[in-house]
């Protein structure tokens, strides 16, 4: 595999770009693997990479029903932050942000990680108290966070709506400067290429259609490209987790599959240097500008359960209203595209990374609004769980049993209703 380097870029500039090799192989599935990861999204690919890199395991496959990065991996609004405060989440997302900071070098692939700062607006003086608590916890635990006054925001982001009668009056913001965005497809391709270089088979167009099991173990996976047996099986299928869970005859999960939409406008000149976010009184909105110039934004999930990767118009209206209330100048920009992904909303809004009732099955699920920023740490800790057959202490409460123990990792304090965890 050709490494990306300044020297190779210059050399290929002179030889008509003929010196680049394939980014990853396209192998036929083998009949048996030590580990099969179902789902070629960011979490599946990152897990395969860290299994091979950190634990020197070789006989691993990632099976993907479509193409890698075709699920939520390539559909998200690419926001990366670590402003979580609850035990477990705090350490996990901070570890993820730290991995992001070196990811392009680690993978020898430019994931275009841009630490452009995450600006969480607040719209009442009281909101500052709650938010300051979160940011103080972050600072006390080695992360970064600061408060910007209304005047500071006005200087830095003059296009926001500072009118006295604004629907969402801006009182200030909580800022994480190390946060930002990355190019989502590049992350999937970077992990795939790096995992492939370490011997992982990445098998696309290979859907798991049924699962054979005994009382305690999965014995084989029936796929659209033949039967595959594996010593260990890992699910990392995001919004399809409940489907795979039922194929394994494991009953129900504390997860609901919901649609989340994203939007992009036509490209415009540089307008917004940061990621700007707010969530207040039922409204939820986040916006940034892509490197191509499009304004990328989104809001809440579609409020009803579905596996369709297609959004509905009420949310389009809702999000457009938020966009215009916050940045009235966007009223003259054309919306280019909108799309949807299927996110797996858990009862407390936090993820699952755990062993399961079956001895050789491992679960990685429950990712919703923050699943993109989580992907490096998700791969890291999930690989550790699979390789060592026990959870690291950081993820030990992210198991399916936590609700029975009374452990709710509820960052929002919204209660046991999946759709409220935005
Ligand atoms: C519109 C939108 C905006 C978002 N914005 C952000 C954001 O700004 N920041 C953030 O941190 N997070 C965001 N997220 C969440 C984040 O994208 C997801 O939580 C994360 O991508 C999920 O993990 P994944 O990449 O592994 O999932 P996916 O990419 O969905 O991977 C799962 C894969 O499993 C495959 N699969 C399913 N069933 C089978 C089967 N039977 N056999 C084989 N393969 C199968 C699917 O085809 C899919 O490719 C957003 C999500 C959406 C939808």
Ligand 1 residue neighbourhood (C-beta within 6 Å): 38-44, 63-66, 70-73, 75-79, 207-208, 236-238, 240, 244, 260-262, 298, 341, 343, 367-373
pLDDT at 130: 83
pLDDT at 281: 67
For 139-178, how does the pLDDT look when each residue is reduced to its tens digit (9 = 90+)? 999 999 999 999 999 999 999 999 989 999 999 999 999 9
Structure confidence at residue 413 as a pLDDT band (50, 70, 90): confident
> Which range among 33-47, 191-205, 223-237, 267-281 shows the weakest confidence by mean pLDDT?
267-281
Cα-to-centroid distance, 343 and ligand 1 (Å): 7
pLDDT at 131: 85
Contact status, residue 51 vs residue 60, Cβ threshold 8 Å: yes
Q: Ligand 1 pocket check: which of 38, 63, 76, 242 to mutate, most ligand atoms within 8 Å of Cβ?
A: 76
pLDDT of residue 291 exceeding 70, the answer is yes
pLDDT of residue 396 exceeding 90, the answer is yes
Q: Could you give the dihedral angle defined by the CA atoms of residues 326, 328, 333 and 335, in that order, rounded to the nearest 10 degrees?
A: 40
For 92-109, how does the pLDDT look when each residue is reduced to its tens digit (9 = 90+)? 999 999 999 999 999 999
Helix pair 42-55, 184-197: axis angle to 10 deg: 30
Q: Looking at mean pLDDT, say which of 279-288, 333-342, 407-416 comes out highest.
A: 333-342
pLDDT of residue 303 exceeding 90, the answer is no
Contact status, residue 400 vs residue 356, Cβ threshold 8 Å: yes
* Phi, psi for 81 (deg, rounded to 5): -155, 170
pLDDT at 207: 98
The residue whose CA is least distant from atom 53 of ligand 1 is 341
| CA–CA dist 120, 23 (Å, integer) | 38
Is the whole model's pTM more than 0.95, yes or no?
yes
């Amino acid at each position: 595999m050709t490494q990306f380097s300044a020297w190779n870029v210059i050399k290929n500039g002179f030889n008509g770009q003929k010196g680049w090799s394939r980014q990853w192989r396209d192998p036929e599935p083998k009949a048996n693997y030590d580990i099969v990861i179902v789902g070629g999204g960011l979490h599946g690919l990152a897990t395969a990479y860290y299994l091979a890199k950190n634990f020197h395991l070789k006989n691993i496959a990632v099976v993907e029903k479509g193409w890698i990065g075709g699920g939520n991996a390539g559909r998200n609004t690419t926001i990366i932050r670590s402003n979580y405060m609850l035990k477990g989440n705090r350490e996990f997302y901070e570890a993820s942000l730290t991995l992001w900071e070196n990811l392009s070098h680690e993978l020898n692939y430019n994931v275009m990680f841009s630490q452009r700062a995450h600006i969480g607006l607040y719209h009442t003086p009281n909101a500052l108290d709650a938010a300051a608590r979160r940011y103080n916890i972050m600072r006390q635990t080695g992360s970064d966070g600061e408060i910007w006054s209304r005047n500071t925001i006005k200087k830095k982001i003059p296009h926001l709506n500072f009118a006295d009668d604004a629907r969402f009056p801006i009182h200030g913001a909580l800022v994480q400067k190390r946060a930002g965005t990355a190019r989502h497809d590049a992350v999937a391709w970077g992990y795939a290429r790096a995992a492939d270089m370490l011997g992982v088979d990445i098998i696309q167009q290979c859907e798991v259609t049924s699962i054979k099991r005994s009382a305690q173990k999965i014995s084989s996976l029936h796929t659209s490209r033949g039967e595959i047996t594996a010593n260990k099986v890992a699910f990392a299928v995001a919004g399809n987790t409940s489907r795979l869970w039922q194929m394994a005859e494991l009953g129900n999960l504390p997860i609901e599959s919901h649609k989340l939409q994203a939007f992009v406008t036509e490209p415009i000149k540089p307008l917004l240097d940061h990621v700007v976010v707010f969530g207040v009184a039922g409204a939820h909105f986040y916006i940034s500008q892509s490197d191509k110039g499009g304004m990328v934004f989104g809001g809440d999930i579609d409020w009803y359960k579905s596996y369709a990767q297609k959004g509905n118009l009420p949310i389009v209206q809702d999000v457009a209203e938020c966009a215009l209330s916050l940045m009235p100048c966007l009223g003259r920009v054309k919306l280019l595209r909108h799309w949807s992904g299927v996110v797996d909303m858990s009862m407390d809004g936090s993820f699952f990374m755990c062993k399961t009732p079956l001895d050789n099955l491992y679960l990685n699920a429950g990712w919703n609004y923050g699943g993109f920023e989580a992907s490096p740490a998700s791969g890291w800790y999930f690989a550790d769980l699979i390789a060592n057959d026990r959870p690291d202490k950081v993820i030990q409460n992210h198991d399916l049993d936590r609700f029975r123990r009374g452990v709710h990792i509820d960052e929002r304090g919204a209660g046991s209703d999946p759709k409220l965890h935005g």
